[in-house]
Chains A and B, each alone.
Chain A
């Protein structure tokens, strides 16, 4: 597809065009010290000049005056809360003369456009698509939100130290699943984006903006910036090796070492952009005697998760950590044909004790080989 040059003011036009087309536009914003995703009206809402510095269990925001609009990597918020809300009503009952009726709770949803999702977010969405829409039964609420999503991905030129998408094959440049992909370039004299469409409607929107085509020099700048970004990543994970490492020795004594660290707080599963486990909860309304069911995110770290016949199947900390890591990196392949990990590094950053899955896999590999 032909690439175009987008000036920061064109980005404001993009936001305006998307709102005119009926989308609620979400973008990265700085909120309570983290870069998150919320409604934006213009580029003025974006976290200009902001950097995020991450390491296991640590997240810092740093302000700069360089004017980059997407100069950070990822905050805790992936596309997951937008497409797969943490809590939603599933159905309610209605008492009629003919008896009880169950009604699907189908909310009025305004289509959402997200500007500034990361390549790993797009990859995670593809992973969730497979889990939630692969059938035979599908998540119909996710399907609606997903169908209506307009996705503008911004490639990463400043990965965090916790990012390892290059080794997972999911970044720092997006390859599919987007409507428009942008790469931000801030040179001494110029600040611009190189834009590329990934869908027909993406191209339509770009056409509407009336952009100049990118020249080969600009394309070369993008290529180099993304190559440098990929090469700068400190962490790596080999998804194929991880698959076999985790399959090899589920009862290796190594797993017990996790007990001294893992708090089973479930943070990793909450920030993970692919984790899709949910539980259901009954709701009752005293007013009209109707009842209903809510669905909310659950985690394989909770004891209730595996409760059966009076006790949890996975009682020990190591069995729950093993379930998480084995599912994410190994059995996910058996179930859905890909890794359940996209290399965004959120679980490393947001783990209060800084457990790093890339290190865990490496240690396990060393122990097994020893």
Chain B
């Protein structure tokens, strides 16, 4: 028998009001917004790779990863790219504007399980957003990892997000950086090629590596297959996935990927769990 008295009564679909306190235009299409709660209650504390449903009343809400340092919830931020109506309106917000917010939802990067390993972080484009929280978390306790490497691939030089962070990470001896551009560009003197072309240099010891990967589906598929072939255990290759999400809490059905709900079983999943479904077209 169901014990109705024991069930929660607060609707998980009810958002809270948050206010934009800072706007950082990363590129013409990407903005990092920093938020504070506008209801006088505590802000959202999240773990690396968790997401929130952020929206504008009357327009709708979308899933976006928190991109700030999880250790400092007072700087709660999201880095958003203009895709369609809702993200465009979010990207164009100014300090003082209000948004609706729910979260945090979903699984986190396995920061602790990865301790004692080489940490290989692979980002494609804006895939760096949900990885930024992993990087800052790892750097704070860099001695717990055998090494920390970032492989970051972009399509255009102008696509660069987190420019200040990238500069700081370049200068940080704990961090080994492998930047690449998909195709040649007069403004770029670094390596050309997909992220997989940097693995020879970035992957130190497959047997003791934990990889954290985020980018477009095709890129994650390629990296998952490549790292597996190079000897990284499927269960140690972690991805964060995107799927259409209307609720974020396992109640709307939209985010299904095979038997998985990306909003609650993911977005962070390992290649052993998610890999088999990547092989099925239109799953």
Interface of B is mostly: loop
Shortest beta-carbon distance, B95 to chain A, in Å? 14
Judge whether B4 and A90 touch: CB under 8 Å. Answer: no
| A59 on the B face (CB < 8 A) | no
Shortest beta-carbon distance, A85 to chain B, in Å? 14
Q: Which of B10, B19, B252 has the most CB of A within 10 A?
A: B252
Minimal Cβ-Cβ distance residue in A for B283: A250
Residues on the B chain within 8 Å of A99, using CB: 17, 19, 38, 98
List B residues 45-102 near A (Cβ within 8 Å): 57-61, 83, 98, 100
Residues A102 and B282 in contact in the complex (CB < 8 Å), given A143-B4, A279-B252: no
Chain B 262-281: CB-based contact to A (< 8 A → 1; otherwise 0): 00100000000000000011
List A residues 141-177 near B (Cβ within 8 Å): 141, 143, 146-147
A143, A298, A313, A335: the one contacting B252 at CB < 8 Å is A298
Residues A282 and B254 in contact in the complex (CB < 8 Å), given A140-B9, A305-B244, A315-B282: no
List A residues 291-322 near B (Cβ within 8 Å): 291-293, 295, 298, 300, 305-310, 313-316, 319
Minimal Cβ-Cβ distance residue in B for A249: B280
8 pairs of A and B residues whose beta carbons are closest in the complex: A277-B253, A319-B282, A334-B259, A291-B58, A291-B57, A137-B249, A331-B259, A147-B4
List A residues 310-357 near B (Cβ within 8 Å): 310, 313-316, 319, 323, 327, 330-331, 334-335
Residues on the A chain within 8 Å of B256, using CB: 323, 327, 331
A→B interface (CB under 8 Å): 90-91, 93, 98-102, 104, 129, 131-133, 136-141, 143, 146-147, 250-251, 276-284, 291-293, 295, 298, 300, 305-310, 313-316, 319, 323, 327, 330-331, 334-335
| B243 on the A face (CB < 8 A) | yes
Residues A277 and B252 in contact in the complex (CB < 8 Å), given A90-B14, A102-B16, A138-B12: yes
Residues A307 and B7 in contact in the complex (CB < 8 Å), given A102-B100, A331-B259: no
Shortest beta-carbon distance, A67 to chain B, in Å? 36
B8, B11, B249: the one contacting A141 at CB < 8 Å is B11
Judge whether A316 and B282 touch: CB under 8 Å. Answer: yes
Shortest beta-carbon distance, A165 to chain B, in Å? 22
Judge whether A100 and B254 touch: CB under 8 Å. Answer: no
Residues on the A chain within 8 Å of B39, using CB: 101
List B residues 1-36 near A (Cβ within 8 Å): 2, 4, 7-17, 19
Shortest beta-carbon distance, B204 to chain A, in Å? 33
Shortest beta-carbon distance, B21 to chain A, in Å? 14
Of the four ranges (under 10, 10 to 19, 20 to 34, 35 or more), the interface on chain B belongs to 35 or more
| Cα–Cα, bound, A350→B84 (Å) | 36
Judge whether A133 and B14 touch: CB under 8 Å. Answer: no
| Cα–Cα, bound, A292→B61 (Å) | 11
Minimal Cβ-Cβ distance residue in B for A131: B251
B11, B38, B57, B252: the one contacting A140 at CB < 8 Å is B11
Judge whether A280 and B13 touch: CB under 8 Å. Answer: yes
| Cα–Cα, bound, A59→B107 (Å) | 46
| Cα–Cα, bound, A284→B59 (Å) | 9
| B191 on the A face (CB < 8 A) | no
Minimal Cβ-Cβ distance residue in A for B99: A100
| B250 on the A face (CB < 8 A) | yes
Judge whether A143 and B7 touch: CB under 8 Å. Answer: yes
Residues on the A chain within 8 Å of B59, using CB: 282
Minimal Cβ-Cβ distance residue in B for A176: B1
Residues on the B chain within 8 Å of A330, using CB: 259
List B residues 226-268 near A (Cβ within 8 Å): 242-244, 246-247, 249-254, 256, 258-259, 261, 264
Residues on the B chain within 8 Å of A102, using CB: 14-17, 57, 100
Minimal Cβ-Cβ distance residue in B for A335: B259
Shortest beta-carbon distance, A315 to chain B, in Å? 7
Minimal Cβ-Cβ distance residue in A for B276: A250
Residues A91 and B14 in contact in the complex (CB < 8 Å), given A308-B242, A335-B261: yes
Residues A140 and B2 in contact in the complex (CB < 8 Å), given A102-B17, A102-B100, A335-B261: no
Judge whether A280 and B60 touch: CB under 8 Å. Answer: yes
Residues on the A chain within 8 Å of B61, using CB: 280
| Cα–Cα, bound, A251→B278 (Å) | 12
Residues on the B chain within 8 Å of A283, using CB: 58
B38, B243, B258: the one contacting A308 at CB < 8 Å is B243
Residues on the A chain within 8 Å of B7, using CB: 133, 138, 140, 143
Q: Which of B16, B39, B244 has the most CB of A within 10 A?
A: B244
Shortest beta-carbon distance, B243 to chain A, in Å? 6
Judge whether A305 and B57 touch: CB under 8 Å. Answer: no
Residues on the B chain within 8 Å of A129, using CB: 2
| Cα–Cα, bound, A292→B254 (Å) | 21
Residues on the A chain within 8 Å of B282, using CB: 313-316, 319
Judge whether B17 and A305 touch: CB under 8 Å. Answer: no
29 A–B contacts from the bound complex (CB under 8 Å): A93-B57, A99-B17, A101-B39, A102-B100, A104-B14, A133-B7, A137-B249, A140-B9, A143-B7, A147-B2, A250-B280, A250-B283, A251-B281, A278-B253, A279-B252, A280-B252, A283-B58, A284-B58, A291-B57, A295-B13, A307-B244, A308-B243, A309-B83, A309-B242, A313-B243, A313-B244, A313-B282, A334-B259, A335-B261
A90, A313, A314: the one contacting B13 at CB < 8 Å is A90
Extra pairs beyond A91-B11, A147-B4 (11, CB < 8 Å): A100-B57, A102-B17, A250-B283, A251-B281, A276-B253, A279-B246, A291-B58, A308-B244, A309-B216, A330-B259, A331-B259
Residues on the A chain within 8 Å of B13, using CB: 90-91, 280, 293, 295
